Amino acid sequence: MSTAGTIVILTGAGVSAESGIATFRGPGGLWEGHRVEDVCTPAALARDAALVHRFYDLRRAALDTVTPNAAHDALARLDAAWPGELLIVTQNVDDLHERAGARRLLHVHGELRSALCAACGSRRAWHDALPPATICPACAAPALRPDIVFFGEIPYEMERVEAALARADLFVSIGTSGAVYPAAGFVRAAAAAGAATLELNLERSAGSAWFDETRLGPAGVLVPAWVDAVLAR
């Protein structure tokens, strides 16, 4: 691939695991403590807003106690040094990619440190607890909610992601089980556009069969080694 090639990187909970943030579907995973239907759907929010807000308040507060790991740092280094187009598409709602210095980044499933107004659709940085019926500063409705894409809701910036996948020369998936769509289908869109596809994960995922190559191991080891090799070409 020429140095001006387009790289699209998809990250999931596994890239933040070594920072101490629980994944969803592993042992002790987030979904083990809660049923997805109880905390990550519009119906759950309508049924028990206090539970849903508390679930995300706890995860937002936990961000104060974690820091980026070697995988986040390596991706930020690649972002800064790569002369071609590059986009990190994260399913994660933590801000560890940003805190490591990544710039060419987007969150398809929302962000813990953001609040969304269910009435006017405005979004804003939010670092504290977010009680149900918090007043929206933009429209004054008591309608602020976690800025999280729930199951059944449309992921953010899909057009931008699809456009990047259509131009990709290399698609790399890091730390995701390939369990959630449409993100789990990105590898196929990239391959259809002619991209080489690489998976870096602790174990084989639901999508491993779609990748040209799968490397198994912790992101904190595999990602810096991969970035060093890409930048050394």
118: CB partners within 8 A, 6+ apart: 141, 143, 144, 145
Residue from the set 18, 79, 147, 169 that interacts with ligand BV8 by CB under 6 A: 18
Residue 219 binding ligand BV8, by CB under 6 A: yes
Residues 132-151 within binding reach of ligand BV8 (CB under 6 A)? 148-151
Residue 23 binding ligand BV8, by CB under 6 A: yes
Kindly report the CA angle at 152 between 161 and 203, in degrees rounded to 5? Answer: 65
Residue from the set 7, 10, 17, 227 that interacts with ligand BV8 by CB under 6 A: 17
β-bridge mates for residue 11, sequence order: 90, 174
* DSSP-based three-state secondary structure for 216: strand
Residue from the set 9, 102, 161, 180 that interacts with ligand BV8 by CB under 6 A: 180
Q: What's the rounded Cα separation, in Å, for the pair 114 and 116?
A: 7
Residue 26 binding ligand BV8, by CB under 6 A: yes
* DSSP-based three-state secondary structure for 146: strand
Please give the positions annotated as active site: 109
- Binding residues for ligand BV8, per CB under 6 A? 12-14, 17-18, 23-26, 29, 40, 91-93, 109-110, 148-155, 158, 175-177, 179-182, 201-203, 205, 218-219
